[in-house]
Amino acid sequence: MLIFEKAVIKKYWPADDKGADDLIVRQVQMQVEAEIEDSDQIRELYKNMVRGLVHLAIMDNLTGEEYEIPAVTIRPFTIKQKKITLGKGEAAETVKQEFALLTLVCKTKDDDGAAMLAELYRFFNIEVQLNFSEFRFAGGAALDDEQEETAAE
């Protein structure tokens, strides 16, 4: 499980992609800026990106309200630094903080994606917590790392 305590959904938009047999697949794409606390988060983020699909829970840090997206793809991401001022007045210090710039893609639950866009609006441009966990198939549990290694052999 990967948790980003402080993240902000900067942009989100509907998109279309072509699936099997040239069928249109409705998607929602999100651009998220997540504060990195340690290098283990980058490693886990990369593992989740390579894995393909992950489960995502978005939680409002103030109200505790949560929205879950069962299947999300993490696109290649970048790491950047920002200068942040801590404190006020003469005691203020400027420190550098690292952020991951993520693009997340998910299939909409309905045909036009309007309901999902409306749900995401409650979490737009505020501080949220992102909880990435292992993708679970609707029919059963996904394999953990040890089971995947055993199955590969």
Number of domains, the chain: 1
Taking only the tens place, the pLDDT of each residue in 96-113 is 999 999 999 999 877 767
Opening angle at CA 106, ends 47 and 43, nearest 5: 15
Q: Which domain holds residue 85?
A: 2-137
| Residues 146-150, mean pLDDT to the nearest whole number | 41
- Inside any domain, residue 39: yes
Mean pLDDT of 55-73: 95
Distance CA 116, CA 119 (A): 5
Q: Does 19 fall in a domain?
A: yes
Classify residue 120: in a domain, yes or no: yes
Each residue's pLDDT tens digit, 21-48: 888 888 999 999 999 999 999 999 999 9
Going by pLDDT thresholds of 50, 70 and 90, the confidence category of residue 138 is low
Position 82 in a domain:
yes
Q: The pTM is what?
A: 0.81
145 occurs within a structural domain:
no
